[in-house]
Amino acid sequence: DAKTTQPNSMESNEEEPVHLPCNHSTISGTDYIHWYRQLPSQGPEYVIHGLTSNVNNRMASLAIAEDRKSSTLILHRATLRDAAVYYCILSPGNMLTFGGGTRLMVKP
Amino acid sequence: DAGVIQSPRHEVTEMGQEVTLRCKPISGHDYLFWYRQTMMRGLELLIYFNNNVPIDDSGMPEDRFSAKMPNASFSTLKIQPSEPRDSAVYFCASNRGNTEAFFGQGTRLTVV
């Protein structure tokens, strides 16, 4: 399986943008880039996913490098509720294999 | 839809007892996944089903673990006999085709 590398933790101030990086140098042509997050004491929840082009939805934006070897999840205005573990996952289909993720802490 | 429903939310059992975890996926979803989460190992995929058929069970830790999906609206994960090292939070998830997966709230299992 193609692996991803994420920082263990990041800190942000409330109402500021947050850029969460993910490296995936061994990505294959059929791998989608998925982002999920896990709030404390909850199951993971979907954030966004993409293949080649940048993607936007109501929660976040996903910026994908031209060579697809890295991507960045962008939260445009962090709130306290965005404090969670964010997982970057590569998968050509349905099977999601979670790594360690990035623990995002948001300071008021 | 109420989302993916897991029961029980918490289970405490003695070592050696049989434990059954239950999952009701979202109606219309054709994929169902079982995950286990511990501090040491993170989120691990145990098994997944497509149209009620097990597709990949390579993550099931050992023969003490078994999973079934008798119909599209119900799945069970059974541990027999349970051991303290099985203590974890077990998540069930479902999706339709290659779309976003929805996770349940999890079952926190403690084996003493």
Cα-Cα-Cα-Cα torsion A1, A84, A61, B3, nearest 10 degrees, comes to 80
List chain A residues with CB under 8 Å of B56: 95
Write down the pLDDT at residue B103: 97
**pLDDT tens, position by position, A2-59:** 689 999 999 999 999 999 999 999 999 999 999 999 999 999 999 999 999 999 999 9
Chain B residues near residue A36 by CB distance under 8 angstroms: 101
% of chain B surpassing 90 pLDDT: 94
Instruction: Give the pLDDT confidence score for residue A2 in this predicted structure.
Output: 62
Q: Which residue has tokens 């996926």? A: B25
Decide if B42 and A93 are in contact by the 8 Å CB cutoff. Answer: no
How do residues A55-96 score in pLDDT, each as one tens digit? 999 999 999 999 999 999 999 999 999 999 999 999 988 889
Task: Pick B6 or B99 by higher pLDDT.
Answer: B6
Is B30:B97 a contact under the CB 8 Å cutoff? yes
Residues from chain B that touch A94, judged by Cβ atoms under 8 A, are 31, 33, 48, 50, 95, 97-98, 101
